[in-house]
């Protein structure tokens, strides 16, 4: 069978464009070759369209041949593109004109210094730590990956305890866990410090919990712990009233309600009087006049024992303050996910 | 859980107490009330009606005409309820009444027929959301025409108690337990539960408790001649408002008694108990049971089942089996009232995802005495609701509890101790008040004149809840009122507080970086984001990362081992979207840092164990430390009581060392570049932009180290850093996909330890960014920097002589490092015996041929004399000669 005239055209086009592609030494050149060949008005595109002029008997063969041509050109362009990109990266990597010994100030000279921003969580954490420090509390820092013992057992939460369900925990593949509360530092502090002592320790805590505007799997807490010979509910009330007044920068009235946390006995939910209505009741406080702020209580004797102290000799109080919540209250942040979301447009407000 | 004030009032005189106002006190004394609901008020206009005629509606198939006898008159209304039938008693609402549900009854026509009033469903009356048919008043004895509130029990206040606040109180999962608290609060007597019921003779079935550890008590009884029918209307409405759907009188009786006592019950159709035998046993591995909800469950030997002679008929404490449920024609049944092991029930319920009203209660560890009470209450209820029914057996009491009842919990303490822990005086809280309060809460109290107390804990508080004197402190405190306790300042000797060095360091560094370097602080997740890492090709090659077993999202499966990846993703975002209201533009810069912990699964070197310990003990103050106590664990172990010891034993054996969690400072600086050809994001940055972002990152690290009071770190170019394997430490990771192999420096201590790095972004990573940009990354190991000795400034006297500054400009090859030129100049000038105090880079200009024209400043000073012009000229000469040796090849 004689080859049709269009077969030669296609073969010529193939040789021409493959050579043109291979000949490109620059990405810009390759891009123009790509347009000339495969663009809307490109040469190969025109060949493909010419099927209308081909005799009906040849249409099928012509269509297959031009499709193969187009595919070959596309593949060649893509391959050359990858080669040139790799070469460009390699050229950059080989370029030794960068001078890493120029003093930074000189490299930056003439550029205006931007305005920096403190993260809202750290602002709150440092303010609170400063208050506690000024009142004689040690300010400590404890690890985020914790043992089951420090996070649960030492806090009087053995494995059968229902409270373990409330603490939805991230378990790690080495059998450890991400601390579910800063309370995991209690036994560390008890083991480290000679009583009497008082300490706060803040940081990230983790809960296996789906996120929404008011729930996060990672948030910040601050734990407070005080150990002394005699510690009563009256002491706890006094400390909380004083500390919270300093932190919230106003005279606060507090009240205690029964609350259940295995590591304190008695355990409380501490409410503060609503600032908006002064206790008369408004929508912010669900018309009760009080806002739930933090859990607290007298340290459970089991926790003291786990920390190596004899509960007949030593007593204590402890509380956990939600720093994320405090930051949200202070800066009117409506969505907790903004805090760790990393969006600099949000952070640049602080 | 819902609590009905009306129900409580059966056992406590609540006369004169406003339940709405009482809620606040209840919250402060017993448990948090989430929500308060008034139920069944404003229905005085509704009356009891007897349906005496039912006729079809002439114009509508689904409507009918009901003629209702209202005592003094009859009326005919249109009714759409499918269950309307002759002889029914129903609530009738006359014209002109507005119901609590908002419905206004008008004298109008319904499809052409006048309807002066309506027959009401529960939903119409606002009693529930049940629209299915009319509220049946069958069994109500009041004559037709009686106002509804006088015919049935209406008017209640419901408290919705936060379940979380009663997880430790099994007794509060029943209304009677709540009544006990209310009685104690009001100081009024609590009526006992009436448990008198006529019993029959003999055993109801043969019972074998084959798993006594999981079933301390199994109480059983048999009832015959019962008839399935609807429960009385008051009971149905009570169940509904407490959130339980009424089914029939027999099933409703189990639910009602569960709500009342807190003890879940189960009733089997006696015909379905094969072999007249019940076995409480562990399931066989792979055993299946189809539960009441129609699901086939595959069980394990950790699950507890109730079986008959042939197989399982119920999943103990969780849900009954479909094969034994009460049928419409059930007339004889076997009742189960049991106490099950809390952990067993909880594990089964969790594993199968079946959190039922029953499992929720059993997993709180119920009082093993309670089934005896609950069973009798159930029998009583069935006899009342199914006339003709008889109890045909005695109450069978199986399980180990009967022979070996749980040891009574006794707490010995003194009233003085209780007062001390509360912080009150004997005048405020006299012994007599303490004794009376505890007695009202059903504690058995022995009290001597010297204030010694022996307190017997009632069974329903003794399972998990009350064990020690501190628990008694709570009982007294909440009933006395925490609000009445005067505050007292704790007595601790004043001494300067210790602050962890890492906390001090963070404050100093963030102040320097934010205020001085103008950077923005980030706090990011401790998880790596696998999506970002894959898209930007960020990885640490094969360096292991800690994995999460139960990830919350498929992208968050590993903990970060470097700060850079998350910082880079955040920087990319702002470089792409722009800052604030401004659209992104060329020249937009970003300077961020994060101070945080990263996680390295295993310490990279043997001595890292010590570093780990150092990092973990950052809280240890050298002075206040009691060295004898640190790390000593025998001490606390002997102090534990026996069951706590058993509970922790397993954990101790598996006491694993924690992974290394070093503190890091991560810095990312970036600058948005102009787009490439045809808007391509792929742009090779100009050298000046690269120098700028690199300079910013390096400047930040220097500022941080200075803020920490440590000596400056040496900046060692990549080529001078030994191979990765011989690095003094392996963190931060030197070998990463984002480090540019040439444009990076190591930060090295004077002891030769690498503690950080600064690098431009590898072009492969940079080219994947969504915006054309140049970025630099720095990461610094803070633990290692903190371990360095502080830099103490030396107080030298200022020089007496005025120095001279000489600026020198020379051309050098593009690839020459300016620091090499400075070093050569310094050496040459010193070799010539000339005085040079300092030589430093000033600025440079790029030349057309690619070379650089750099200007340095030489500061010349002799300590003892002023320099003469000749000396300065010679210094300049030597310097120029030295610079000339660095001239680009082929330059004139
Ligand atoms: Zn308010």
pLDDT digits 0-9 by tens, B558-584: 999 999 999 999 999 988 888 766 677
The answer to whether A234 contacts B574, with C-beta atoms less than 8 Å apart, is no
DSSP structural state of residue A181? S
Picking from B499, B567, B660 by the largest number of A CB atoms within 10 A of its own CB, the best residue to mutate is B499
Half-sphere exposure of B468 (CA within 13 A, CB side): 13
Give the helix ranges, DSSP H, for B441-536: 459-462, 469-480, 501-511, 530-535
- Residue of chain A minimizing CA distance to B509: A118
- Residue of chain A minimizing CA distance to B638: A305
Say if pTM beats, i.e. exceeds, 0.90.
no
Given a contact cutoff of 8 angstroms between Cβ atoms, the answer to whether B284 and B351 are in contact is: no
Given a contact cutoff of 8 angstroms between Cβ atoms, the answer to whether B545 and B601 are in contact is: yes
B621 contact residues in A (CB cutoff 8 A): 138, 193
Given a contact cutoff of 8 angstroms between Cβ atoms, the answer to whether B246 and B236 are in contact is: yes
- Residue of chain A minimizing CA distance to B515: A116
Read off φ and ψ for residue B596, nearest 5 degrees. -170, 175
The answer to whether B632 contacts A308, with C-beta atoms less than 8 Å apart, is yes
Question: How far apart are the C-alpha atoms of A189 and A150, rounded to whole Å?
Answer: 11
pLDDT at B799: 80
User: Among the listed ranges A4-8, A238-242, B518-522, which one has the minimum average pLDDT value?
Assistant: A4-8
DSSP structural state of residue B240? H
Which candidate from B632, B647, B678 shows the least CB-CB separation from A31?
B678
| Strand partners for A273 | A290
Question: To the nearest whole angstrom, how far is the Cα of A88 from the nearest Cα of chain B?
Answer: 9
The answer to whether A105 contacts B619, with C-beta atoms less than 8 Å apart, is no
The answer to whether B474 contacts A265, with C-beta atoms less than 8 Å apart, is yes
Share of chain A above pLDDT 70, in %: 97
Task: Calculate the average pLDDT of chain B.
Answer: 87
Share of chain A above pLDDT 90, in %: 27
Which candidate from B625, B698, B850 shows the least CB-CB separation from A194?
B625
Picking from B625, B639, B812, B818 by the largest number of A CB atoms within 10 A of its own CB, the best residue to mutate is B639
- Residue of chain A minimizing CA distance to B612: A143
The answer to whether A257 contacts B32, with C-beta atoms less than 8 Å apart, is yes
- Hey, which bits of B98-211 come out as E strands? 107-110, 113-116, 118-119, 156-161, 206-209
Highest mean predicted confidence (pLDDT) among A4-18, A150-164, B628-642, B695-709: B695-709
Distance A294 CA to ligand 1 centre (A): 17
Taking 60 as the threshold, does the pLDDT of residue B137 lie above it?
A: yes
Given a contact cutoff of 8 angstroms between Cβ atoms, the answer to whether A256 and A250 are in contact is: no
**Stronger pLDDT, A280 or B473, i.e. the higher one:** B473
Q: Comparing C-alpha atoms, which of A227, A232, A300, A231 is closest to residue A260?
A: A300
Residue B53: CB atoms within 10 A of its CB come to: 12
Taking 80 as the threshold, does the pLDDT of residue B631 lie above it?
A: no
Given a contact cutoff of 8 angstroms between Cβ atoms, the answer to whether B52 and B86 are in contact is: yes
pLDDT at B101: 82
pLDDT at B727: 47
B520 contact residues in A (CB cutoff 8 A): 116-117, 344, 347-348
B494 contact residues in A (CB cutoff 8 A): 136
User: Among the listed ranges A112-121, B136-145, B371-380, B589-598, which one has the minimum average pLDDT value?
Assistant: A112-121
Instruction: Return all residues near B343 (Cβ < 8 A) that are at least 6 apart.
Output: A160, B363
The number of angstroms, rounded, from the C-alpha of B280 to the middle of its chain's C-alpha atoms is 36
The answer to whether A342 contacts B570, with C-beta atoms less than 8 Å apart, is yes
> Domains of chain B (ranges plus CATH)?
2-40+157-180 (3.30.56.10), 47-154 (2.40.50.140), 206-398 (3.50.40.10), 410-480 (3.30.56.10), 507-620+658-792 (3.30.930.10), 804-884 (3.30.70.380)
Q: Which long-range contacts (CB under 8 A, 24 or more apart) does B761-767 make?
A: B761/B568, B762/B737, B762/B738, B763/A88, B763/A89, B763/A92, B763/A93, B763/B684, B764/A89, B764/B537, B764/B737, B765/B536, B765/B537, B765/B538, B765/B568, B765/B737, B765/B738, B767/A85, B767/A89, B767/B681, B767/B682
Which candidate from A96, A235, A268 shows the least CB-CB separation from B815?
A96
Taking 70 as the threshold, does the pLDDT of residue B656 lie above it?
A: no
The answer to whether A308 contacts B629, with C-beta atoms less than 8 Å apart, is yes
The per-residue pLDDT for range B455-505, each reduced to its tens digit, is: 999 999 998 889 899 999 999 999 999 989 988 876 665 567 788 888 889
Question: How far apart are the C-alpha atoms of B223 and B817, rounded to whole Å?
Answer: 99
Distance A290 CA to ligand 1 centre (A): 7
- Residue of chain B minimizing CA distance to A114: B518
A106 contact residues in B (CB cutoff 8 A): 695, 841-843
Helix and strand element counts for chain A (H, E): 14, 9
Question: How far apart are the C-alpha atoms of A139 and B504, rounded to whole Å?
Answer: 9
DSSP letter string over B664-732? Answer: EEEEEEEEEPPP-GGG-S--PPPHHHHHHHHHHHHHHHHHHHHHTT-PPPEEEEGGGSPPGGG-S---S
Q: Comparing C-alpha atoms, which of B766, B650, B756 is closest to residue B708?
A: B756
pLDDT at A48: 82
Given a contact cutoff of 8 angstroms between Cβ atoms, the answer to whether A309 and B494 are in contact is: no
The answer to whether A118 contacts B763, with C-beta atoms less than 8 Å apart, is no
The answer to whether A175 contacts B819, with C-beta atoms less than 8 Å apart, is no
pLDDT at B617: 40
The answer to whether A138 contacts B346, with C-beta atoms less than 8 Å apart, is no
Residue range B148-154: mean pLDDT, rounded = 94
What does the buried/exposed string (b/e) look like for A268-307 if buried means 16 or more CB atoms within 10 Å of the residue's CB? bbbbbbbeeeebeeeeebeebbbbbbbbbbbbbbbbbbbb
Q: Which residue has the tokens 């070469």?
A: A87
Which candidate from B513, B571, B820 shows the least CB-CB separation from A116?
B513
Taking 70 as the threshold, does the pLDDT of residue B629 lie above it?
A: no
A273 contact residues in B (CB cutoff 8 A): none
Distance A280 CA to ligand 1 centre (A): 6
Q: What is the largest CA-CA distance in chain A?
A: 110
B529 contact residues in A (CB cutoff 8 A): none
Given a contact cutoff of 8 angstroms between Cβ atoms, the answer to whether B836 and B873 are in contact is: no
pLDDT at B726: 45
B684 contact residues in A (CB cutoff 8 A): 88, 92
Question: B568 is written with which tokens?
Answer: 């880079």
Share of chain B above pLDDT 90, in %: 65
Taking 90 as the threshold, does the pLDDT of residue B190 lie above it?
A: yes
Question: How far apart are the C-alpha atoms of B27 and B185, rounded to whole Å?
Answer: 12
Q: Comparing C-alpha atoms, which of B361, B355, B339 is closest to residue B260?
A: B361
A196 — pLDDT class (breaks 50, 70, 90): confident
Question: B79 is written with which tokens?
Answer: 């009714």
Question: How far apart are the C-alpha atoms of A263 and A184, rounded to whole Å?
Answer: 11
- Residue of chain B minimizing CA distance to A350: B520
Distance B480 CA to ligand 1 centre (A): 26
Instruction: Return all residues near A13 (Cβ < 8 A) that are at least 6 apart.
Output: A43, A44, A47, A69
Question: How far apart are the C-alpha atoms of B290 and B293, rounded to whole Å?
Answer: 8
B616 — pLDDT class (breaks 50, 70, 90): very low
pLDDT at B621: 33
The answer to whether A257 contacts B488, with C-beta atoms less than 8 Å apart, is no
The answer to whether A238 contacts B488, with C-beta atoms less than 8 Å apart, is yes
pLDDT at A287: 82
Angle (nearest 5°) at CA B536 between B530 and B537: 80
pLDDT at B793: 80
Question: How far apart are the C-alpha atoms of B678 and B690, rounded to whole Å?
Answer: 22
Distance B266 CA to ligand 1 centre (A): 46
Question: A129 is written with which tokens?
Answer: 């730590």
Question: B859 is written with which tokens?
Answer: 């500061």
Question: To the nearest whole angstrom, how far is the Cα of A257 from the nearest Cα of chain B?
Answer: 4
Distance A340 CA to ligand 1 centre (A): 29
The answer to whether A140 contacts B618, with C-beta atoms less than 8 Å apart, is yes
Taking 50 as the threshold, does the pLDDT of residue B144 lie above it?
A: yes
Q: Which residue has the tokens 């399931």?
A: B283
The answer to whether A191 contacts B629, with C-beta atoms less than 8 Å apart, is yes
Distance A218 CA to ligand 1 centre (A): 29
Given a contact cutoff of 8 angstroms between Cβ atoms, the answer to whether B137 and B48 are in contact is: yes
Which candidate from A119, A126, A189 shows the least CB-CB separation from B522?
A119
The per-residue pLDDT for range B800-857, each reduced to its tens digit, is: 888 889 999 999 988 899 999 999 999 999 999 999 988 999 988 888 888 899 999 9
The number of angstroms, rounded, from the C-alpha of B278 to the middle of its chain's C-alpha atoms is 41
> Is B657 buried (19+), middle (13-18) or exposed (0-12) by CB count in 10 A?
middle
CB pairs under 8 A between A and B: 417
The answer to whether A31 contacts B495, with C-beta atoms less than 8 Å apart, is no
The answer to whether B167 contacts A260, with C-beta atoms less than 8 Å apart, is yes
For residue B257, say if its preceding peptide bond is cis, omega within 30 degrees of 0. no
Residue A213: CB atoms within 10 A of its CB come to: 11
User: Among the listed ranges A4-13, A288-297, B538-547, which one has the minimum average pLDDT value?
Assistant: A4-13
| Strand partners for A346 | none
B478 contact residues in A (CB cutoff 8 A): 257-258, 266
B362 — pLDDT class (breaks 50, 70, 90): very high
pLDDT at B552: 84
Residue B722: CB atoms within 10 A of its CB come to: 12
Given a contact cutoff of 8 angstroms between Cβ atoms, the answer to whether B375 and B260 are in contact is: no
Question: How far apart are the C-alpha atoms of A25 and A36, rounded to whole Å?
Answer: 16
Q: Comparing C-alpha atoms, which of B557, B540, B545 is closest to residue B599?
A: B545
Q: Comparing C-alpha atoms, which of A255, A131, A149 is closest to residue A198?
A: A131
B850 contact residues in A (CB cutoff 8 A): 97
Distance B253 CA to ligand 1 centre (A): 43
The per-residue pLDDT for range B508-558, each reduced to its tens digit, is: 999 999 999 999 999 999 999 999 999 999 998 878 899 998 888 899 999
Given a contact cutoff of 8 angstroms between Cβ atoms, the answer to whether B785 and B703 are in contact is: no
The per-residue pLDDT for range B80-108, each reduced to its tens digit, is: 999 999 999 999 999 999 988 888 998 88
Distance A214 CA to ligand 1 centre (A): 20
Distance B29 CA to ligand 1 centre (A): 21
Distance B21 CA to ligand 1 centre (A): 17
The answer to whether B615 contacts A143, with C-beta atoms less than 8 Å apart, is yes
B609 — pLDDT class (breaks 50, 70, 90): very low
> Is B858 buried (19+), middle (13-18) or exposed (0-12) by CB count in 10 A?
buried
Instruction: Return all residues near B192 (Cβ < 8 A) that are at least 6 apart.
Output: none
The per-residue pLDDT for range A308-321, each reduced to its tens digit, is: 888 988 999 999 99
Instruction: Return all residues near B622 (Cβ < 8 A) that are at least 6 apart.
Output: none
Which candidate from B526, B626, B695 shows the least CB-CB separation from A108?
B695
pLDDT at B628: 36
The answer to whether A232 contacts B422, with C-beta atoms less than 8 Å apart, is yes
């Amino acid at each position: 069978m004689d080859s049709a005239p269009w077969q030669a055209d296609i073969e010529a086009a193939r040789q021409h464009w493959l050579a043109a592609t291979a000949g490109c030494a620059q990405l810009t050149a390759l891009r123009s070759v790509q347009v000339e060949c495969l663009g809307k008005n490109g040469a190969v595109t025109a060949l493909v369209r010419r099927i209308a002029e081909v005799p009906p008997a040849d249409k099928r063969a012509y269509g297959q041949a031009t499709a193969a041509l187009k595919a070959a050109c596309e593949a060649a362009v893509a391959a050359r593109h990858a080669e040139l990109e790799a070469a460009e990266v390699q050229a950059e990597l080989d370029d030794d004109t960068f001078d890493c010994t120029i003093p930074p100030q000189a490299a930056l000279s003439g550029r205006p210094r931007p305005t920096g921003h403190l993260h809202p969580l750290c602002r709150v954490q440092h303010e609170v730590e400063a208050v506690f420090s000024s009142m004689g509390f040690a300010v400590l820092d404890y690890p985020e990956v914790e043992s089951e013992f420090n996070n649960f057992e030492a806090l009087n939460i053995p494995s059968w305890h229902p409270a373990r369900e409330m603490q939805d925990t991230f378990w790690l593949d080495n059998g450890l866990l991400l601390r579910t509360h800063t309370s995991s530092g209690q036994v560390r502090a008890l083991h480290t410090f000679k009583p009497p002592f008082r300490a706060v320790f803040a940081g990230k805590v983790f809960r296996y919990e789906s996120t929404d505007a008011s729930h996060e799997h990672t948030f910040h807490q601050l734990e407070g712990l005080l150990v002394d010979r005699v510690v009563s509910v009256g002491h706890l009330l006094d400390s909380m009233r004083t500390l919270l007044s300093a932190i919230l920068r106003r005279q606060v009235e507090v009240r205690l309600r029964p609350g259940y946390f295995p590591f304190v006995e008695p355990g409380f939910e501490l409410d503060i009087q609503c600032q908006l209505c002064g206790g008369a009741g408004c929508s912010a406080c669900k018309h009760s006049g009080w806002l739930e702020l933090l859990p607290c209580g007298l340290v459970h004797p089991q926790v003291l024992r786990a920390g190596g102290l004899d509960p007949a000799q030593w007593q204590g109080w402890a509380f956990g303050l939600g720093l994320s919540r405090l930051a949200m209250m202070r800066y009117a942040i409506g969505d907790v996910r903004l805090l760790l979301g990393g969006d600099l447009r949000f952070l640049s407000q602080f | 859980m819902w609590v009905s004030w009306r129900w409580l009032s059966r056992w406590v005189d609540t006369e004169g107490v406003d339940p709405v106002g009482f809620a606040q006190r209840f919250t402060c004394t017993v448990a948090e009330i989430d929500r308060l609901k008034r139920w069944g008020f404003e229905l005085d206009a509704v009356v009891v009606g007897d349906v005496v005629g039912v006729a079809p509606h002439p114009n509508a198939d689904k409507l009918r005409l009901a003629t209702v006898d209202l005592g003094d008159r009859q009326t005919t209304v249109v009714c759409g309820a499918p269950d309307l039938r002759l002889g029914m008693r129903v609530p009738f609402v006359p014209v002109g009444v507005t119901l609590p549900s908002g419905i206004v009854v008008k004298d109008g026509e319904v499809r052409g027929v006048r309807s002066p009033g309506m027959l009401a469903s529960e939903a119409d009356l606002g009693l529930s959301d049940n629209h299915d048919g009319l509220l049946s008043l069958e069994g109500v004895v009041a004559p037709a025409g009686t106002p509804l509130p006088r015919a049935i029990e209406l008017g209640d206040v419901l408290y919705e108690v936060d379940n979380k606040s009663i997880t430790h109180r099994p007794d509060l999962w029943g209304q009677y337990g709540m009544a006990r608290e209310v009685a104690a609060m009001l100081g009024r007597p609590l009526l006992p539960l009436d448990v008198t019921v006529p019993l029959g003779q003999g055993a109801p079935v043969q019972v074998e408790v084959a798993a006594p550890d999981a079933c301390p008590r199994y109480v059983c009884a048999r009832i015959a001649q019962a008839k399935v029918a609807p429960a009385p209307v008051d009971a149905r409405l009570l169940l509904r408002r407490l959130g339980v759907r009424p089914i029939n009188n027999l099933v409703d009786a189990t639910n009602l008694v569960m709500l009342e006592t807190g003890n879940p019950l189960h009733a089997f159709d006696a015909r379905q108990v094969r072999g007249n035998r019940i076995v409480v046993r562990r399931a066989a591995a792979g055993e299946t049971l189809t539960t009441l909800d129609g699901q086939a469950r595959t069980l394990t030997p950790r699950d507890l089942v109730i079986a008959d002679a042939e197989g399982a008929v119920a999943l103990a404490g969780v849900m009954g089996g479909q094969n034994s449920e009460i049928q419409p024609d059930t007339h004889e049944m076997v009742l189960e009232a049991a106490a099950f092991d809390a952990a067993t029930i909880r594990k089964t319920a969790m594993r199968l995802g079946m959190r039922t009203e029953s499992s929720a209660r059993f997993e709180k560890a119920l009082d093993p005495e309670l089934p005896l009470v609950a069973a009798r209450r159930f029998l009583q209820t069935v006899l009342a609701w199914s006339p003709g029914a008889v109890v045909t057996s005695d109450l069978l009491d199986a399980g180990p509890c009967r022979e070996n009842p749980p040891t009574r919990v006794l707490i010995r303490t003194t009233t003085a101790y209780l007062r001390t822990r509360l912080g009150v005086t004997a005048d405020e809280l006299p012994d007599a008040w303490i004794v009376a309060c505890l007695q009202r809460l059903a504690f058995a109290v022995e009290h001597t004149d010297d204030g010694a107390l022996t307190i017997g804990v009632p069974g329903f508080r003794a399972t998990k809840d009350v064990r020690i004197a501190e628990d008694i402190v709570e009982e007294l405190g909440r009933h006395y009122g925490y609000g009445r306790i005067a505050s007292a300042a704790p007595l601790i000797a004043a001494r300067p507080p210790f602050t962890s060095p890492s906390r001090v360091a963070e404050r100093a560094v963030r102040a320097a970086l934010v205020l001085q370097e103008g950077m923005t602080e980030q706090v990011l997740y401790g998880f790596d984001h696998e999506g970002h890492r894959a898209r930007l090709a960020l990885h640490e090659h094969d360096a292991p990362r800690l994995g999460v077993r139960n990830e919350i999202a498929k992208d968050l499966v590993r903990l970060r081992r470097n700060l850079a990846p998350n910082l880079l993703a955040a920087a990319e975002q702002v470089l792409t979207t722009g800052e604030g209201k401004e659209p992104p533009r060329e020249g937009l810069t970003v300077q961020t840092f994060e101070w945080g912990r990263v996680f390295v699964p295993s310490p990279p070197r043997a001595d890292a164990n010590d570093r780990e310990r150092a990092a973990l003990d950052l809280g240890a103050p050298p002075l206040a430390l009691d060295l004898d106590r640190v790390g000593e664990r025998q001490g606390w172990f002997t102090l534990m009581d026996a069951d706590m010891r058993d509970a922790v034993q397993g954990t101790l054996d598996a006491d694993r060392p924690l992974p290394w969690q070093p503190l890091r400072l991560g810095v990312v600086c970036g600058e948005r570049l102009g787009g490439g050809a045809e808007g391509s994001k792929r742009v090779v940055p100009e050298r000046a932009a690269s120098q700028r972002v690199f300079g910013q990152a390096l400047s930040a690290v220097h500022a941080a180290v200075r803020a920490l009071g440590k000596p400056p770190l040496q900046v060692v170019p990549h080529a001078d850093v030994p191979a990765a394997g011989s690095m003094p430490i392996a963190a931060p990771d030197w070998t990463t996909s984002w480090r540019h192999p040439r444009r990076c420096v190591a930060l090295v201590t004077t002891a030769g330890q690498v503690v950080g790095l600064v690098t431009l972004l590898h072009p492969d990573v940079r080219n994947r960014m969504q915006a054309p940009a140049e970025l630099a990354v720095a990461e610094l190991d803070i633990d290692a920097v903190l371990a360095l000795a502080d830099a103490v400034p030396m107080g030298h006297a200022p020089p007496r002589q005025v120095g001279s500054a000489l600026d020198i400009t020379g051309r050098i090859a593009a690839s020459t490092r300016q620091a090499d030129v400075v070093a050569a100049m310094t050496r040459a000038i010193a070799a010539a015996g000339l005085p040079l105090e300092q030589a430093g880079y000033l600025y440079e200009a790029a030349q057309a041929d690619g070379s650089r024209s750099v200007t340095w400043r030489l500061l010349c000073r002799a300590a003892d004399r002023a320099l003469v012009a000749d000396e300065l000229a010679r210094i300049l000469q030597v310097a120029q000669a030295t610079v000339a040796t660095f001239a680009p090849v082929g330059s004139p």
